[in-house]
Amino acid sequence: MRHIPIFQCMILCFLIPSCTNPTVTSEKNLKYKPQSGEIYTEKHREITPSHTEKKNYVRGQILVKFKDGTDDQAIETIQRELSLKTIRVVHRPNLFLMKILNGSSVETIMKRLQDFPEVEYAEPNYIVTIH
């Protein structure tokens, strides 16, 4: 077992939180201010595209995050009921990129997914561009 002097522990306690996510900041301290069509949400502490603006996402694809402890059988049942197919697992075990097989809109599937207690959230597969 290795012992670390209290001074080093104090330094680490101050440095680690500031190093782990340097982009998280409050809106008034943002160097980049939200532009038209973007919304700053304190909950997520980020700038996200407004859903009322241009639909900049892959049609027919949706990202679905299931709650911890959701088993494969529950996921398969939801997929079957909503005509979804897993394209790939983005992050094990809970985040899936899925294809909408029956031609329903992304918005419709997102609303229907909210009815399932196993679903933490669902969102479009946004297209990100760098200017």
Burial-class residue 124 by CB neighbours within 10 Å (0-12, 13-18, 19+): buried
**80-114 residue pLDDT tens:** 999 999 999 998 889 999 999 999 999 999 999 99
Structural domain for 116, as ranges: 57-126
Domain count, the chain: 1
pLDDT tens string 45-81: 444 444 445 679 999 999 999 999 999 999 999 999 9
d(CA 125, CA 54): 14
Dihedral of CA 62/100/127/96: which sign?
positive
Rounded CA Rg of the chain: 20
CATH of the domain at 81: 3.30.70.80
**Residue 90's closest CA among 123, 57, 129?**
123
* pTM, rounded to two decimals: 0.57
Q: Would residue 36 count as lying in a domain?
A: no
